[in-house]
Structure 1
Amino acid sequence: MADNQQAAAGSEQATQPQFALQRIYVKDLSFESPNSPMVFQDQWKPQVNLDLNTTHSKVSDTQYEVVLSLTVTAKLDEKVAYLVEIQQAGVFLMQGFPEQQIGPMLGAYCPNLLFPYARESIDNIVSKGSFPALMLAPVNFDAIFAQAVKRKQQEAEGNGAAAPEAPQTH
């Protein structure tokens, strides 16, 4: 009887969804300070702009690569003080999840895990460029993903086509 219970427990574990972060890495990183050293003579009151994008691709049946791309531009008046571009990536194991959960995980949950690493890399490279530290504010990837889904649904209704299950966020 104990063997039957163990076998049942084993089969339940096999069907339970599994999620694991397998690797986090910087895929690409760029820093430019086109107006240095003159930019250091100006009073430091920058206008900072953040652009972000996420993409994902299937690596294997159970692994996905998610890439969070951030571009930070700091300007003093119209002069670019610095420009940082980073692609922070991760490989995620996802097994046993219903199809409808994969999209939100790839579009919101995984980028949310990657963001602190990208933020730290940006702060580090900006400081090494001799600029004041830059700590980016948190980003609500759930809201961004929900907006992307809504936008894709509206586009699909306008074109008469079916909406994709996991839209890319922009």
Structure 2
Amino acid sequence: MTEETSATPEQDFANGADTQPQVGIISQYVKDFSFENPNAPNVYQWQGQPQIDVQFNIGSNKVADDVYEVVIKIDVKAVSADRTAFQVELAYAGLFGIRNVPEEQIQPFCYAEAPRLIFPFARRILADAVRDGGFPPLMLEPIDFAGLYVQQAQAQLAQSQPAGEA
């Protein structure tokens, strides 16, 4: 007669089993990039500060077992007197290895923590591109990705509830 025993996670780990949650950055890269300076050289004679509009979006998709790509897309447009001073579009991505993480925690990681980790690199690329285009470097403020994720999740929850429920 054989006796079955169930090992605890600590025992599995001690026996070499790979059961601990693991997350790591595999790679970071520019996926798409564009800098336009449509009114050069006249733009350098314009007076006054341009109005700068910054839009960003985050996307994530599973590219292999335990591998997720997270992309931050940032669009910046500087306009002065209804003329474009410059326009920058950047899609900056990171590949993340995610192993032994509960499924319900993967989306919050991909939309809150992963963008926080790669944003400083995207920010530097934008600042350098704007500076190299002949303008003062554009230093984006830090973004609270976790706060935005929670805010968006709450908005989606509110939309999914029938009217009258709270």
Listed one character per residue, the Cα deviations across residues 112-136 of structure 1 (whole Å, up to 9, x for unaligned) are 1111111111111111111111111
Q: Distance in 1 between matches of 2:62 and 2:13?
A: 30
> Which residue identity is paired with 1:69?
K
Alignment correspondent of 2:101: 97
Q: Where in structure 1 do 4 or more consecutive aligned residues deviate above 6 Å?
A: none
Match of 2:120 among 96, 100, 116: 116
Does residue 135 of structure 1 match 2:133? no
How do 1:11-160 residues align onto structure 2 when only pairs under 5 Å count? Answer: 11=15, 14-158=18-162
Listed one character per residue, the Cα deviations across residues 114-159 of structure 1 (whole Å, up to 9, x for unaligned) are 1111111111111111111111110110111112111221222249
Q: Distance in 2 between matches of 1:46 and 1:12?
A: 59
Sequence identity percentage? 37
Alignment RMSD (CA, Å): 1.9
Q: Distance in 1 between matches of 2:134 and 2:17?
A: 52
Gaps of 5+ in 2: 1-9
Q: Tell me which protein shows more helix as a share of its residues.
A: 1
Give the TM-score, by structure 1 length: 0.84
Residues paired across the two proteins, number: 154
Give the TM-score, by structure 2 length: 0.86
Q: Distance in 1 between matches of 2:17 and 2:131?
A: 47
Larger radius of gyration: 2
> Which residue identity is paired with 2:43?
V
